[in-house]
Amino acid sequence: MNKKTGTPLKAILETGGAIKEKTIGLDELKAHAEKAGLAYFEADCDKARSCSAVLRAIAKAVDYPVFFGSNMDALLDCLGETLLEQKGGMVLALRRLHSEDDSLLEHIDALKGVLNDTVEYGDDNGRVFSYMVEHAGKHEAPEPGRAPRPYAQSD
């Protein structure tokens, strides 16, 4: 059950849409996606300090070609093409998106718009697109004269 919306996770994985953060862990989400026959992609956004870095992290996660345009139109193309390559559909998890960073605030609504447009595109093309965004607040500001704290390492 998606605790915040009351929609069972199974239904979201069957029809597409947003999976509310903190209702399921990413490892568990991956297992549910695979059980539902959906490809699972996880974009590590922890290091991303700009919109273009977030877009590159997503393109890298779905193994999109190097010539990715790094704008919202290119992201829509990237996700749409990747979705059509999947037999039943896909789940995209954005891990540790620092959505409260000043450099990202103005782009969050556009990013959500692209994700929701991809849900509709999938529906129109017989594919399921579900996504979850794990918000991580702001990056810590570096102290003057000191190197920033190293990023968390992923396994």
Q: What is the DSSP letter of 106?
A: T
| Confidence at 3, pLDDT banded by 50, 70, 90 | very low
Per-residue model confidence as pLDDT tens digits over 93-118: 999 999 888 888 899 999 999 999 99
Dihedral class, residue 6 (left if φ above 0, else alpha if ψ from -120 to 50, else beta)? left
Mean residue pLDDT across the chain = 87
Q: Supply the pLDDT for residue 1.
A: 44
**Statement: residue 142 has pLDDT above 80:** no
**Statement: residue 138 has pLDDT above 60:** yes
pTM of the prediction?
0.85
Per-residue model confidence as pLDDT tens digits over 24-60: 999 999 999 999 999 999 999 998 989 999 999 999 9
Of the candidates 140, 124, 138, the residue with the CA atom closest to the CA atom of residue 80: 124
**Statement: residue 22 has pLDDT above 70:** yes
